[in-house]
Each structure stands twice: as structure tokens, then as C-alpha cells.
Amino acid sequence: MYQAVESSILTDEERTTAMGLARFAFEYIEAARLVDSNHRDRSPRSLISPMPAYFLVHHGLELTFKSYLRHKGVTLRELGSKRYGHDLDACYRGAKRLGLLAIFIEHQADVAAMQMLVGMNHDHGLRYIKTGAKQFPPWSAIESVAVRLHQAVAPVVGYKTFTSVV
């Protein structure tokens, strides 16, 4: 016979933790790396990766910033507001205001790669076909910033991270 277990219902605010966001970030970045690895196996001389890899790594970066922001006390409502939303620049600026650079060493190449990624995602360009020329950050640069950022944030919020150095 089953015994009824009393459980409290958690709010979205309580359930959305920095550790949970770091977990999702890890999975998106790892998925991006797998897409790129598969692509490199088929096209070893390619410097850019398929569009889905850039989309996945963009979302992984966003979630890593939001993990840090959540750890620093930013509410779920704020994370979803126009202040942050899906704006990678805004999330990065907010994380830096709250001390991210004390744990993450920012390289100029990181900033340039993220700016190109933000440009690619203008008007949801990483999700939907947009005609015209595009400037792609080299995969090595965007992978490096995503992995190193996660390696800086994850231990602070109590989640595992990548063991490889990029």
C-alpha cells in the first residue's frame, strides 16, 4: 500500500536555481560541441560550424550568464524581463556589473566572438533563414569563450563543468 507523501509545491522562482541554469547551459554547450565535432569529421578544413551549433552555443552562453546572475540574486522575473530576456549583451553586462570578471578572465577575442554571435542572432538569425552575407566567428573562438565561461561560473554555483581546456 502506498503512503501519501506530503509535498510542498515550489514556485518557479524557487525551482529555477543557478545550479539548474548551469546544468542546462552545460548541456547546450556540450550539444553545440557535438554538432561541431560531427561537422569537422565530415569537413575537416571548415573554420565555421553549422548554424545549429552557433544557436546552441548562444543559448548556452545566455544560460551561463543567467546562472551567474541568479546566483547573485537576480530574480526569475528580472531574468525574463526586457532588461535581460534573450539579450546576450545585456546578460553579459549585468553579470559583469555583479562581479563576473573576478572569476572569469575576459580576452578581447571573447568580446569580438560574442559580438559576432549577437550580430548573427539579430532578428532571430540563428533560428530562421536570413538572406545576405553573414560574418561568422571562428568556431574555435566561440567554443573557447563558452567553455571557459562555464568553467568559471559552474563551480561557483555548485555544478560540474568541462574538464578539457579549449
For the record, the C-alpha cell of 114 comes out as 560574442
Confidence class of residue 1 from pLDDT cuts 50, 70 and 90? low
pTM for this prediction: 0.91
What 8-state DSSP symbol labels residue 100?
G
For the record, the C-alpha cell of 105 comes out as 578572465
> Does residue 13 carry a pLDDT above 60?
yes
> Does residue 92 carry a pLDDT above 60?
yes
Instruction: List the domains of the chain with CATH numbers.
Output: 12-157 (1.20.120)
